Amino acid sequence: MNVLILGSGGREHAFAWKISQSSLCKKLLIAPGNAGTSKIGENINISLNDFNGIKEICIKEKIEMLIVGPEDPLVNGITDFFKDDEKLKHITVIGPSKKGAQLEGSKEFSKKFMSKYNIPTAKYKSFTKDTLKDGYIFLESLNPPYVLKADGLAAGKGVLIIDDIEESKIILEDMLINRRFGNASNTVIIEEYLSGIELSVFVLTDGVSYKILPCAKDYKRIGEGDTGLNTGGMGAISPVPFVDRFFIEKVENEIIKPTIKGLRKENIDYKGFIFIGLMVENGNPKVIEYNVRMGDPETEVVIPRIKSDLLNLFNGIKNGSFSEIDFNISEKYATTVMLVSGGYPEKYIKGEKISGLDKINDSTIFHSGTLKINNNLITNGGRVLAITSTGNSIQESLEKSFNNAEKIKFKGKYYRKDIGFDLI
């Protein structure tokens, strides 16, 4: 089978790494990819939202399966674009329809969906510029801190958590009236603050049945001890020690089943991943958000724990045999530590030379932001390399990742040295 993966991060490198091991894979293309993916497949330099350009490649390369990494093309309707095109409709797209992608693309849509299908989540109300005053009244009815969310995609910056009531009113006004996040904040969700431990649960579905993938914990803040600015993710661990069979059963019954049922009831065509961001307090899970893709860097620990052939599972989605395919997960722990450019998540420099990859042993390196120029490997993003290791304990696995993190050199290199410590 000829496969095209869309995206350029560690997540897509991990997909490519896994799919390249499948006997079903004949040709593997990644668009645009990075220096890591270029070693296992062919990179195609094209923008993720250039649907016509992607169409041309799919026709030329006789692509049979398209795997969409990031949310943007999904929210922009790439799945519908393929389904509605005579020359593309035979291609299976792993990623939901535009309507399904609203689960991530519109917080209001996802909150309404959750309340309609009785899926546990924080209490909320949504407001527009015409109901700003009602927003103030709702804020006053809540206890601090106050959670304000732009309805639409805002490059991961649309969620604000504010301690002070007066400041939260000013920010609400800034979002609705001054359009702080452009169209994304035409509607703002105000919701109850949830405390507890965050956990990422992943599901792969053909729209009817589903497989629960390994769960993971992500480390979002830049600084050790979970301090400083939010990033895309500085590391991840899978499995998460407090997650046992009983807890997963609870998540399955209270969240996963009603989600799949809700998608069907809404007539939403959903073939792909559902990433459920949970807050867990006293063993009770509540949904913070849905994403319609895999997480990054969570994928870099989830994929290495999947023993089954991922492309065979995708093929099952294509030919209707998905529910019958065995799904096996390794018992081992997987950890990933992200090396980032100095300054990230604020301003940082690209183009620094990377060395030391030849000295790595016992870890798998997934490239996040790298580029190869004249045989030199250089940094090409805030997040640069994810160092994934496996072991019989979190400690054993982390030790390998941290050892190898030291061996890789580039100017400004930074990583968190406390990934996973809260779980040991």
- Integer Cα distance of 339 and 299 in angstroms: 16
Calculate ∠ Cα 211-10-252, nearest 5°.
20
**Least CB distance to ligand AMP at residue 23 (A):** 37
First to last CA, the chain: 42
- The site partner of 33 among ligand AMP, ligand GLY, none (C-beta below 5 to 8 Å per kind) is none
Binding partner of residue 159 among ligand GLY, ligand AMP, none, CB cut-off 5 to 8 Å per kind: ligand AMP
Rounded Cα–Cα distance for residues 317 and 205 (Å): 8
Q: Which is nearer to ligand AMP, 120 or 277 (CB)?
A: 277
> Any contact of residue 414 with ligand AMP (CB under 6 A)?
no
Cα–Cα distance measured from residue 68 to residue 187, given in angstroms and rounded to the nearest whole number: 27
Q: Which partner, ligand GLY, ligand AMP, none, binds residue 352 by CB below 5 to 8 Å per kind?
A: none
- Cβ proximity to ligand AMP: between 122 and 208 the closer is 122
**Burial 66-83, CB ≥16 within 10 A → b, else e:** bbbbbbbbbbbbbbbbbe
Task: Give the pairing type, strands 42-43 and 364-367.
Answer: unpaired
Where do runs of H (alpha helix) occur along 289-393? Answer: 299-302, 310-319
**Can residue 142 be called a binding residue for ligand AMP (CB under 6 A)?**
no
Beta bridge partners of 6: 31, 68
Report 168-207 residues binding ligand AMP (CB under 6 A): 191, 193-194, 198
Select 194 or 360, whichever has its Cβ closest to ligand AMP: 194
Nearer to ligand GLY, 139 or 236 (CB): 236
What's the min distance (Å) between Cβ of 275 and ligand AMP?
10
At its nearest, how many Å lie between ligand GLY and the CB of residue 214? 15
Which residues are within 8 A (CB) of 281 and not within 5 positions of it... i.e. 6 or more apart?
194, 195, 196, 197
The reply to whether omega before 258 is within 30° of 0 (cis) is: no
Tokens of 205: 């579905």
User: Applying CB under 6 A, does 287 fall inside the site for ligand AMP?
Assistant: no
Task: Report the residue number, 160 or 385, with the smaller CB distance to ligand AMP.
Answer: 160
Asked whether the beta carbons of 201 and 276 are under 8 A apart, the reply is yes
The answer to the question of residue 122 lying near ligand AMP (CB under 6 A) is: yes
Q: Which of residues 150-169 bind ligand AMP (CB under 6 A)?
A: 159, 161
CB closer to ligand GLY, 285 vs 297: 297
Residue 192 or 249: the one with the smaller Cβ distance to ligand AMP is 192
Our finding on whether 81 is near ligand AMP (CB under 6 A) is no
Q: Where are the strands (E) in 324-407, listed by range?
A: 333-340, 364-367, 370-373, 376-379, 383-391
> Closest by alpha carbon to 354, among 332, 327, 384?
384
Find the shortest distance in angstroms from Cβ 71 to ligand GLY.
9
Residue 261, amino acid = K
With CB cut-offs between 5 and 8 Å by kind, which of ligand AMP, ligand GLY, none does residue 289 bind? Answer: ligand AMP
218 touches which of ligand AMP, ligand GLY, none (CB within 5 to 8 A by kind)? ligand GLY
The only residue of 88, 91, 119, 147 in contact with ligand AMP, by rule CB under 6 A = 147
Interface with ligand GLY (CB under 6 A): 218, 232-233, 291, 295-296, 298
Tell me which residues touch ligand AMP (CB under 6 A): 122, 147, 159, 161, 191, 193-194, 198, 277, 288-289
